[in-house]
Amino acid sequence: ARFIYKHSSVEVKRRFRTKLRRPLDLIRALLPFPGFNVETVEYKDISFTVWDVGGQDKIRPLWRHYFQNTQGLIFVVDSNDRDRVVEARDELHRMLNEDELRDAVLLVFANKQDLPNAMNAAEITDKLGLHSLRQRHWYIRSTCATSGEGLYEGLDWLSNNIANK
């Protein structure tokens, strides 16, 4: 299975990778492009090839070269950053409008749920306009990258929905 993972924060990406690496024996390899990483995750008898595309403006035009044959998109939202949630929504919908991603399932991690002012999953769902994605199979999961809470539940959903395709 091939997935694209998108989050703009390097620190959050590092934490997610660290939490997934230990129990899942994550293998990390750098691609020859700065800002792009590929990782293979073995989970529940499925081998996920995860393409981590950086959020820098200068490399966004390159993203579409990694969309072909993608079966799922993991989109991580900073639930505590109310100022950037509209930007996150626009970026998500821009990606989902790409022809190569039309059949990809969507997993949204509503991260930083440990913070007192974090938006909950229902609010993130509303702010990202997820209910408007009527033709897309999607799931949102509250997570905390520092503790690992919610990560495995999200991966369970992803593995079940890829296995059923």
Annotated binding site: 55, 111-114
56: annotated active-site residue: yes
What does DSSP say about strands 72-78 and 105-111: parallel, antiparallel, or unpaired?
A: parallel
**Using an 8 Å Cβ cutoff, are 96 and 61 in contact?**
no
Active-site choice (56, 68, 71, 135): 56
Q: Report angle CA 46, 161, 85 to the nearest 5 degrees.
A: 105
List, in sequence order, every beta strand (DSSP E) within 59-104: 72-78
Give me the sheet containing 2-6, strands edge to edge: 27-30, 36-43, 46-53, 2-6, 72-78, 105-111, 138-142
Element (H, E) at 159: helix 151-163
Cα of 60 vs its chain's centroid, Å = 16
Binding residues for GTP: 55, 111-114
Residues 1 and 52: their CA atoms lie apart, in Å, by 14
Active-site positions? 56
